[in-house]
Structure 1
């Protein structure tokens, strides 16, 4: 959004949820000013005045969703989202995935798209309830930014890293802090996240390119095909040979 972005309303016909994915802003609601930053989520609706503005030089980016009906009102109240104050959520990437799914389905012209959107919205609201933090903790923004930087690094360069310690060294943080970040925002350890990235790539090589198991093991820099097979089975529950007509060692 523009650096001078400003929205000021005394009323709104629908119930709305907004989540900040980038940048900083200021929310005035309930007679108080609330700083908006990455990971902040808030809601408003009929009769709730609010003012939202961007704080330069950052350009705030938000996801939003408008809802209507008594069910929407009751659900937002149950989640504590109509108390005129923002909250923070853990594992924010889960919300992004759902918001993007809702957006794609809303643009679809099929007969089932409306029903699918309704189902996805319910899941999104359940996820917010599941992942919301008890308070808008001051360390959330810095920790989330660090997590996002590490996550992007791993997604872009997963072939270069074999262990979580390798990632921690590259980013300049301790392995213990890296582990805490991933447990907080991803719900699993950093090594498990890295391993899944590497094994997803391995599965693509086996299924789409038809590479042999040994060739994939070499591509991922494993000492031998058997070590690779153990890692693959840890993620998928089946050996890589089950995805390929080529057996290990051929």
Structure 2
């Protein structure tokens, strides 16, 4: 699948299988207080590695799925859903996907006279990732940035600059360290989430998950809605369908073959589950991917996007 258009700047990685990006101002004014340059959401390939000594802008990234490795100023960290981190123009950083998972992460790049101070106030400039709760609230702000950046309006840039300020405040609010009563419940959520990510192919119901993780289904549901903003079964289904989409697009398997591998009774039941997550049936996904891959097809800022985060609310 084509993941990077000819219009993308050099600093944008092509080691992604899915991406949705926007560009507001790649040559921002140096004197402005705060300016959003670009941003988006990407799903990494298993071989994804970014290694930079410096970067033109400040960057904030939020991991929502998968696992990875991060190095900031020579210090190494493990990345998993709920980690948010930042780097400045002079911050050496290395970001790598941890196979066999495929990270999905949002990002926004920005500059400005107030950029460093605002990021520092959010706890992001200490050369280490933060762990946040209520990750879905940050995702909502990232989605608002994406939507407003694409708006046909003279005020799009100004709105995005204010949304960036909101994002930084929300990071301060949702930082796990700010809530002393949170760690025990969050640790349970993390343990269950990791179990789902490692065993999703054989798991079919939340009752199975709850039993294997020694929690009740009701408690499990509350944990996921509290920390993930989505029901536990919805999360399990999304992980399953992410894997299904990769088999359809990268391994080029037939829909009925994917349905069989995923344990569905027939292709119809699989297609219904797939549409529940992605909003479109698998046949349409395959067709749209083929259209994007054509060399004479029109190119825009939005490359292929499997927008399951948006469809969580539908």
How high is the TM-score relative to the length of structure 1? 0.59
Q: Distance in 1 between matches of 2:207 and 2:101?
A: 28
Gaps of 5+ in 1: 151-166, 191-250
Equivalent residue for 2:128, pick from 82, 85, 107: 85
Q: How many residues align?
A: 171
1:65 to 95, 108, 115: 108
SS of 2:162's partner is helix
Provide the C-alpha distance between the structure 2 equivalents of 1:141 and 1:54, rounded to a whole number of angstroms: 23
Q: Which has the larger radius of gyration?
A: 1
Shift of residue 100, structure 1, vs aligned partner:
0.8
Aligned pair partner of 1:113 in 144, 152, 156? 156
CA contact (8 A) 2:69 2:79 kept: yes
Structure 1 stretches of at least 4 aligned residues deviating more than 4 Å after TM superposition: 137-142, 144-150, 167-172
Structure 1 position 174 matched with structure 2 position 216: yes
**Is the Cα contact below 8 Å between 1:25 and 1:54 reproduced in 2?**
yes
Alpha-carbon distance in 1 for matches of 2:224, 2:150: 33
Residue 97 (structure 1) shift: 1.1
- Give the conservation status (yes or no) of the 8 Å contact 1:147–1:181: no
Task: Tell me the distance in 1 between the aligned counterparts of 2:190 and 2:166.
Answer: 23
* Aligned counterpart, 1:11: 54
Indicate yes or no: 2:87 matched with 1:41. no
Matching of residues 142-153 of structure 1 within 5 Å: 143-144=189-190, 146=192
d(CA) in 2 for partners of 1:8 and 1:126? 28
1:148–1:127 Cα change, 3 Å: farther
Q: Secondary structure at the match of 1:70?
A: coil
Alignment partner of 1:52 out of 91, 95, 107: 95
How far the C-alpha of 1:174 sits from its partner, in A, is 2.3
How far is 1:8 from its partner?
A: 0.3
Rounded Cα–Cα distance in structure 2 between residues aligned with 1:102 and 1:83: 25
Whether the 8 Å CA contact 1:21–1:39 is kept in 2: the answer is yes
> In the alignment, what sits opposite 1:27?
70
Contact 2:189 2:224 in 1 (8 A): no
Q: 2:143 aligns with which of 97, 100, 113?
A: 100
Q: 1:176 Cα shift?
A: 7.3
Unaligned runs of 5+ in 2: 1-43, 197-205, 232-314
User: Higher helix proportion, which one?
Assistant: 1
Alpha carbons 1:147, 1:185 under 8 Å: kept: no
Match of 1:48, SS state, is: coil
* Match of residue 241 from structure 2: none
Counterparts of 1:170 and 1:13 in 2: how far apart (Å)? 44
User: Taking structure 1 as reference, are residues 58 and 183 closer, same or farther at Cα in structure 2, changes over 3 Å only?
Assistant: closer
CA distance in 1, matches of 2:184, 2:46: 24
- Structure 1 residues 148 and 8 mapped into 2: Cα distance closer, same or farther (>3 Å)? closer
* 1:30–1:186 CA distance, 2 compared to 1 (3 A): same
Query: Matches of 1:37 and 1:110 in 2, distance apart?
Result: 36
Question: What displacement does 1:114 show?
Answer: 1.6
Matches within 5 A, 1:170-209: 171-172=210-211, 173-174=215-216, 177-178=219-220, 181=223, 184-185=226-227
Q: TM-score, normalised by structure 2?
A: 0.48
RMSD: 3.2
